[in-house]
Amino acid sequence: MKRLQAIRKAVFPVAGLGTRFLPATKSIPKEMLPIVDKPLIQYAVDEAVEAGIDTLIFVTNRKKRAILDYFAADGDLQTHLQAQGQHALFTRIADIIPADIKVEYVIQEQALGLGHAVWCARELVGDEPFAVLLADDLIRSPAEGCLQQMVEAWHATGAGSIGVEEIPPAMTGRYGIVSLRSDSDGRDYIRGIVEKPAPADAPSNLGVVGRYILPAEIFSLLASVQAGVGGEIQLTDAIAALLGNQPLLAHAFAGVRYDCGSRQGFIQATVDYALEHEELRDGLLQHFAKLTHNHDRAPGD
């Protein structure tokens, strides 16, 4: 049997315009927005490193200096924290990227779509299967992270996978939607995939979330797909073409996903992560109790 390659490289497309978060995203990349005190991109990087990834590839644009700055070493800050005896913070800063992890960047000159962003990473990825993580889909898992679960499925089956979850049927127009087929191994494989169908045309209510393990063959398919929904080069369309000759698993991950590209999802993630934080939880609960009390009181009480 052919030995499976390890999943070593992860692509982080961070070159989108983040229009749903304007005006903040006029100068702050969406992926740098913090949930409690950590930027979204750091949660995705931590998930990738936990899953055994050793090379992080950021697809960025010329305006997103903040992401490059965030991942660059800052000797002055570290010297300052050390001198102040702030050891815990020093370690957090030093661990932003563990020492044995390689970081690479490629520029997407124009935001032509997610598919185009992934295609921009083709030379850095080369001829091996790889992961893609969209940092604005934040996934809080009870034990192993979502990507780790997908890497395990890769080792068990040799098939790539896409993260999926059930979404409200009325919201199919915001997601890639998959239909499934079951295989003799008892796992769910993707039969078809379509980008942002109207509810009446959707093959299911299983929406794609921003985690993928893909074979390198996807790059040649991305090179030939035409602009699709929204005039963008869609990763979904290349995946649909891939399904003709490669099986892909639908990975219904264990965990909760927050769509942090939307204000609602971002705020819910902030509240949930803050409630898990021992320094923040009690103050926040007191605040909620006060809000509920004020809300329940009739005006003039």
State the residues that interact with ligand UTP by CB under 6 A.
13-20, 30, 59, 108, 111-114, 116-117, 134-136, 261
How far apart, in whole angstroms, are the C-alpha atoms of residue 210 and residue 56?
A: 16
Closest CB to ligand UTP among 57 and 249?
57
CB of 289 to ligand UTP, least distance (A): 34
CB of 136 to ligand UTP, least distance (A): 5
Amino acid at the residue 97: I
Residues 137, 260 contacting (CB under 8 angstroms) = yes
Residue at token pair 């050793």: 54
Chain position whose Cβ is nearest to ligand UTP: 16
How far apart, in whole angstroms, are the C-alpha atoms of residue 99 and residue 19?
A: 34
SS3 category, 192? strand
Closest CB to ligand UTP among 14 and 249?
14
Closest CB to ligand UTP among 15 and 51?
15
Q: Which two tokens stand for residue 109?
A: 């000159």
CB of 291 to ligand UTP, least distance (A): 29
CB of 130 to ligand UTP, least distance (A): 15
CB of 266 to ligand UTP, least distance (A): 11
Closest CB to ligand UTP among 66 and 94?
66
Residues 214, 115 contacting (CB under 8 angstroms) = no
Closest CB to ligand UTP among 30 and 159?
30
The kind and range of the H/E element at 93 are helix 87-94
User: Residues 6 or more apart from 184 whose CB is under 8 A from it?
Assistant: none
User: Residues 6 or more apart from 141 whose CB is under 8 A from it?
Assistant: 149, 253, 254, 255, 256
How far apart, in whole angstroms, are the C-alpha atoms of residue 145 and residue 86?
A: 29
Closest CB to ligand UTP among 116 and 251?
116
Nearest to residue 255, comparing CAs of 113, 93, 147, 173? 147
Closest CB to ligand UTP among 29 and 180?
29
CB of 104 to ligand UTP, least distance (A): 15
Residue 105: how many CB atoms within 10 A of its CB?
A: 17
CB of 96 to ligand UTP, least distance (A): 19
Name the DSSP letter for residue 165.
E
